Amino acid sequence: MQKRKLGKSGLEVSAIGLGCMGMSHGYGPASDKKEMISLIHKAIDRGVTFFDTAEVYGPYVNEELVGEALAPYKGKMIIATKFGIQMENGKQVLESKPERIRQSVEGSLKRLKVDTIDLYYQHRVDPSVPIEEVAGVVQDLITEGKVKHWGLSEAGVETIRRAHAVHPLTAIQSEYSMMWRSPEDELLPVLEELGIGFVPFSPLGKGFLTGKIDKNATFVNSDFRNIVPRFMPDNLETNQVLVQLIQNIAAVKDVTPAQIALAWVLAQKTWIVPIPGTRKLERLEENLGAAEVELTPKELSDLNDALSKIEIAGDRYPAEYANRVGK
């Protein structure tokens, strides 16, 4: 597996990481813990060194899973986790007060079985706490040796600038794929300017870009996609035009649609590291194979030209969640 550096930070990780959320949160019932630990070990065997989780996934059980799986590899893997979202009465609440961040980091260190968190993201910006205050607390945690690098998830560019001015950010995490190209407008230019890495989640459009989801798709109640406008039947039908485009290119290059979708993300910038998630070994191998798929400058140009003519139907979040991003 090739390696990439996240911006100017010097933090080097595998070119494709593994998003672990879906193993126990967000996409239906949690999978068998032993099977998921085995899958994480197989990812390591195939060169993955970068694993993404969060305090709120579960809550807590995803960090425990990742901690148990990576315990035999202590100090050799890069673990990213997140603070700033708490569960209260079954609802997600933004909470980044200094004392809460300190509670969160202690809990994450214990569950992940590590002495230091490699990359610590604020999961969502808390409008009630100035970002400078958050950055100051994380800076203290870095000084204390509890955190090595920090980042923000789904933050707006002005917040990124303000946070970076207090203590340099290593990475920003946000959704990015052929289906959601909004980061290209403002975010990517600012990250390039400041020397911050980019870690796209949902680079396969929450599974849609694999070509295996159509208007007849159904999801269990605990699958987040049930409430996502983009996954309503009419929108799934409208957006098949994007899948068809990807499938056509995949057929020409004799690879899978998922590999084209991931190769496209990788081709945008050398400091972009996508973190597709999966519960299946065959999907893991397929995703990691995308690192070997090269899109020529002409192929990339033609593809971007075709993508610009496709209008995606349906928002990526319901209103309740959309209001928390880009702050």
User: What domains does the chain contain, in order, with CATH numbers?
Assistant: 3-206+268-293 (3.20.20.100)
What type of residue is 292?
E
CA geometry: angle at 288 spanning 285 and 293, to 5°?
A: 115
Tokens representing 221 are 């109640």
Angstrom distance (rounded) from CA 178 to CA 309: 12
Tokens representing 20 are 């672990």
Q: What was the pLDDT predicted at 188?
A: 98
The two beta strands, 91-94 and 85-88, are antiparallel
Q: What was the pLDDT predicted at 30?
A: 95
Q: What is the pLDDT of residues 102-156, one digit of tens each?
A: 999 999 999 999 999 999 999 999 999 999 999 999 999 999 999 999 999 999 9
Do the Cβ atoms of 50 and 73 come closer than 8 Å?
no
> What residues are annotated to the active site?
57
Residue with tokens 């202590």: 74
Residue with tokens 């060169």: 47
Q: Where are the alpha helices (DSSP H) in 83-220?
A: 98-112, 131-143, 157-166, 187-194
- Of 278, 217, 286, 253, give the one whose Cα is nearest residue 31: 278
Q: What was the pLDDT predicted at 90?
A: 87
In this structure, how many other beta carbons lie within 10 angstroms of the beta carbon of residue 206? 25
Angstrom distance (rounded) from CA 170 to CA 16: 17
Do the Cβ atoms of 210 and 258 come closer than 8 Å?
yes
pLDDT along the chain (327 residues), means of 10: 97 98 95 98 98 97 98 97 95 96 98 98 98 98 98 98 98 98 97 98 98 94 94 97 98 98 98 98 98 96 96 94 92
Tokens representing 144 are 């204390």
Q: Is the pTM of this model over 0.85?
A: yes
